[in-house]
A and B are shown apart, each in its own frame.
Chain A
C-alpha cells in the first residue's frame, strides 16, 4: 500500500536539479499541472460567457426592424423551403429568420437548424458576392452554429465553410469580413485539428492583412481574439512558421491602447510561450519581454493575468531565457503581485518565483537583491493556501540551488517560522517538501557547523513538536522523512 507513495516521492525528487535531474523537466511538469486546472475551470466558464460587445454594425440593418420581427415567425419548414428555393428575396428572409433564432439569448435551436439540412446551402450563400445582405446573414448564422459543440462546428466545417469564410476575409464589405473573422475564430477555437486545417488553408495572410491603423477597435478585437485561437491548444502545437508569421502582428496589437485587444494578444503570447524552449526562444527573440513585464503591472486584471502567465511560461525555460525575463525587470514587479488581493495572482506570482529560485545561484542572488524574500515570507505566512504551496516550492528550490550564504540569508529573513507552521497543512505533498527543505537547511548548517543553532531555532519556533507529531502521519513518506530528521538532529541527548 505504501508503494505509490514511494513512486510519487521518487518522481518529485527527480525534479530537483541538484539531485542530478533535468531542470526543464521540473519546470515543465509544474506548467502541465497548472494548465490542466485552468482548462477545467475554463470549460465551465464557457457556458456562462456572453458575447463581448461589438461596435461595428452596418447601417443597412437598422431600418426595417419591424419587418424582421415578422420574419422571425417563419416555421422551420418554411425556412427550409425558402432557403432551398430560388427566390432570392425569400432566401434572404429565411436566412435572416434563421440567424435571428440562432442569436436569441435563450436556447438557440442549433440542432434543429442542422437537422434541417440547410447548412450547405448557407455556406453556398457565402459565395453570393452579388448579395451582400444574404452573405452577411448566412455568415452570422453559421458563426453561431459553429459557436456550439464540436459536432456543431464540424457540421459547418464539413459543409465547406473554411475556404468560403477565408475568401470572405477579403470582402469589400467590412461587416461581412468581420463576421467571417468571428466565424473562423469559432472554428479555430474548436481544437488543434481545425486550427491547423485553417492554417493549411492559408487563413493567416488575409487575416493579418485586415490589421491596419484604420481598422476600427471592435473589428481589431475580433481579429485579435481569432489570432489568439490560432495560437491556442497543444497536441500538437501550432506550426512554427504560422507562429512566426503571427508574432510580429500580435506584438503590434499588444501595444494598442484598447484593454481587450491587449488582453487577447497577451493570451495569444501566453499560449505561444506555453511550449518547448525553442518556442519560448522565438518569443524572447522578438524583444517583447519588457512590454510583457510592463503589462504585468497593469491595474487591469484582464491584462495583468495573461501577461503574468506569459512571463511565467518564459521563466520555465532555460537559464538564459529566465535571465532575459529578469533583465526585462520582472523582479521589480513581483513583490506587488505576491501581495496582490486576488489569490490567483498571488499563486501565479509565487509559481514564477519558484521557477526563478530553481535557477543558478547568480539568479537567486538577484532575487535576494531585488527584495523578494520579505514578500515571500509574508505570503508563506498569510497567503492563500494555493499560493502558500507555490511559496513552499520557491523556498525548497532556493535551499537546493542557493549558496550557503544565500541559505543563511533566507533563514535570517524569517522564513522558518511560517514554513514550520505549514507543517500542519493537510496536504501531505506540501508537508513532504517542507521536510525536504528542512533537511536541506540542516545540510547547509552542518557545513557551517551551525547544526546546534538551527536545532535550537527549530525548537524555539515549536517546529520540533510539529515534526515529532508527523512521525505518526498516515503517509509513509512523511513519517519517514520526519523520523529521519528527528533521528539525525534531535536525538543527541
Chain B
C-alpha cells in the first residue's frame, strides 16, 4: 500500500468505517501519503464523488462501501484507475472478486467468502463463436468434407447445455446473493494491515475494538463471530498493554491503557445513572417489559433484590457510593439471573487515559454514531461526519462528551418510541413479516429518518415485540420498519431486519426482496444505502410495494 500519488479516500457513514479510516489516516501520515477524504452516505454520493475526482485521482480507497456491487459497471472508470476496497458488506460482488487488475479487495484471509467458482459464473465468449466464423480467411474450399454429427442436433445440444449452465449460474448467484450479511469489521482488517507492516499502535488497536463493537451494537454479526474477534483483539491488547499492568498508578496524562473486561451490558451506564441505563438499554427494557405497568413493578423488584436504594440508583453513576460500586457487577448479575436476564455480562474492552477518563468501547460507539446522525443541524452534512471522526481522537474529549449526551437522548427516544409502538399495537403481522410504520408527527420522528438510528430502533423494537407477544409464530418473523424521510418530497425510508432468534445468523434477505418488489410494481424506489436492506420510496407507492413484498415472501 505504498502510494506516491495522491489518494482519494471514500468513507461510508458508519462507526466501523470511521475507525478504519482513522487507522488508515494514521498509516498514511506515517508514510507521508497525500490523500483527500470524502465522506459518502450512499451510492449517489459515491458516484458523484467519483465523477468529481476521477480526473485528478488514479487511486481510490473505499471503506465500508463498494464491495457488494459491480464497481466497474456503476462507475465506468478509466483503465488506469484502481480501487482498494475495504468493506464488511457481504456478499462481495463476483466481478469485484474476480477482477485482478482494477479492483483490490482488502479482506481478512480466514474470512469465509463462499464465492462461487470462476468457471461456474464466467464463460469465455470465444467458446460460443467457435464453429460459426472460421471461414472468412478466403482460402480455397476443402476438397472433401465430412458431415459431422448432425449440426442441428449438436447445436441444439450446445444451446441446451448453455441454457443449463445459465440456469445453474443463476441458481448459484441467487444462493450467493440472496442474503446480505457482514464480514470482519473494516477497522479490524485495517488494523491487521498495520500490524503486518509493523506499524500498529495502541490507538489503532482501540479503533479496531470500537469498529468491532460497532458491529456488535448494530447487531451486524453473530455472537460467535463477535466472541472470536474479541479473542483476536485480546491478544493484541495484551501485547500492547502488558507493560503498564503493574504500574497503574504511574499513568501519565499522555498514557492510555486498554483493558479487557467482563462488563455489564448496560448502555452508557458509567456516564449516566444506573436507573436510566437500565431503562434505556434494549436488553433490560425488553426483558423486564418496561413499557407496561407490570414491567415498571418488575424493575422496582429487581432493584430491591439487589438491595440498591432507589436514590443511589437514580443519581449519576460517578457519584454513587464507592462501597456500592465495589461489588456492583456481581450483585447485578446475580439478581439479573433471577429475573431471567442471563446475558447481562459481556466481553468488551475499556480505555483509560488521563487521570479519570474511562470509557467502554460501546460508549464510544453510541457517542460517535449519535454525532454522525445528529439531527440538530449545524452547517453542511459533512460537519457531522468530521465531528464524529474527530470524537474518536483522544484529544477531543469535548466532542466525545457531546456525543455521549446525544447518545443518551437517542436511546431515550428509541425506548419511548418502542414503548409507544408496543402499547398502541403498531407492530402488525403481515403474514411473512412484521410491519411497523412511524407516522409523521411522532415525537423524534426526524431522528429515525437516518439509517443507523432507524436500524437501531427496529432492532430494539423487534426485541421488545418478541418479548411482549404471546404469538409463537410472530416471534420468528423478520420486521420491516418505515419512517417518514422527506416530507416535502413525500418519501419514506424503509428497513428490513432478520428475525430476532438466539441462533440468528444475522443474514438479511430483504435487499433482494426489496429489489424484486420494486421491479414488479414499478415503485419509485431508490437503493441509495450501502446496506441493500434499506430503501427509500415514494409514500404513495408504499402500499403496492408492501403488497408485492407479501406475495413475494409468502
Residue numbers of A with Cβ under 8 A of B are 38, 41-42, 45-46, 49-54, 57, 61-62, 65, 100, 102-105, 108, 140, 143-144, 146-148, 153, 179, 182, 185-186, 189-190, 225, 228-229, 232, 260, 263-264, 267, 300-302, 304-306, 342, 344-345
Contacts and interface: CB of A to CB of B under 8 A. Distances in A.
Contacts of A51: 145-148, 151
B126 interface: no
Interface in B125-144: 131-132, 134-144
B144 A153 contact: yes
B112 interface: no
Contacts of B152: 54, 57, 62
A49 B144 CA distance: 9
B456 to A, nearest CB: 60
Contacts of A50: 131, 134, 148
Interface string B100-143: 00000000000000000000000000000001101111111111
Contacts of A52: 135, 145
A143 B138 contact: no
Contact of A185 (B134, B136, B145, B149): B145
A140 B138 CA distance: 28
A343 to B, nearest CB: 12
B487 interface: no
A267 B141 contact: yes
B153 interface: yes
A148 B137 CA distance: 23
A143 B147 contact: yes
B136 A46 contact: no
B147 A49 contact: no
10 contacts: A45-B142, A61-B150, A100-B149, A103-B146, A103-B147, A225-B145, A232-B143, A263-B141, A264-B141, A345-B138
Interface centre among A51, A143, A263 (most CB of B within 10 A): A51
A146 B137 CA distance: 26
Nearest to A45: B139
Nearest to B131: A50
B159 to A, nearest CB: 14
A178 to B, nearest CB: 10
A306 B205 CA distance: 76
Given A46-B143, A52-B145, A186-B144, A57 B138 contact: no
Contacts of B148: 50-51, 103-105
Q: Which 9 A-B pairs have the closest CB atoms?
A: A189-B143, A305-B138, A301-B138, A147-B146, A57-B152, A49-B142, A103-B149, A147-B144, A186-B144
Given A50-B134, A51-B145, A147-B145, 8 more contacts: A42-B139, A42-B142, A42-B143, A45-B142, A51-B147, A105-B149, A108-B146, A182-B147
Nearest to B149: A103
A190 B144 contact: yes
A267 B147 CA distance: 21
B361 to A, nearest CB: 65
Given A153-B144, A232-B143, A304 B149 contact: no
Contacts of A49: 142, 145
A46 B142 contact: yes
Contacts of A100: 149
A342 B137 CA distance: 10
Contacts of A267: 140-141
A268 to B, nearest CB: 9
B144 A189 contact: yes
Contact of A57 (B131, B140, B150): B150
Contacts of A153: 144
B275 to A, nearest CB: 78
A127 B131 CA distance: 34
Contacts of A264: 141
A148 B144 CA distance: 7
B222 to A, nearest CB: 49
B203 to A, nearest CB: 64
A122 to B, nearest CB: 15
B145 A103 contact: no
A52 B148 CA distance: 10
A300 B142 contact: no
Nearest to B142: A49
Contacts of A146: 144
Contacts of B150: 57, 61, 103
Contacts of B136: 300-302
Contacts of B151: 51, 53-54, 57
A225 B141 contact: yes
A422 to B, nearest CB: 27
B140 A65 contact: no
Contacts of A182: 145, 147
A302 B148 CA distance: 23
B143 A65 contact: no
B137 A38 contact: no
A441 B143 CA distance: 46
A108 B141 CA distance: 22
A379 to B, nearest CB: 19
Interface in B368-398: none
Contacts of B132: 53
A229 to B, nearest CB: 6
Contacts of B135: 52, 260, 302
B176 to A, nearest CB: 34
Nearest to B137: A301
Contacts of A305: 138-139
A65 B153 contact: yes
A144 B147 CA distance: 6
B100 to A, nearest CB: 33
Contacts of A140: 147
Nearest to B143: A189
Contacts of B144: 46, 146-148, 153, 185-186, 189-190
A4 B142 CA distance: 37
A105 to B, nearest CB: 6
Given A50-B148, A65-B153, A105-B148, A304 B138 contact: yes
Interface centre among A49, A57, A65, A102 (most CB of B within 10 A): A49
B512 to A, nearest CB: 38
A179 B146 CA distance: 11
A228 B141 contact: yes
B452 to A, nearest CB: 59
Nearest to A147: B146
A232 B142 CA distance: 11
A265 to B, nearest CB: 11
A198 B134 CA distance: 31
Interface centre among A45, A50, A57 (most CB of B within 10 A): A50
A51 to B, nearest CB: 5
Nearest to A270: B140
Interface string B144-171: 1111111111000000000000000000
Contacts of B146: 51, 102-103, 108, 143-144, 147-148
B138 A344 contact: yes
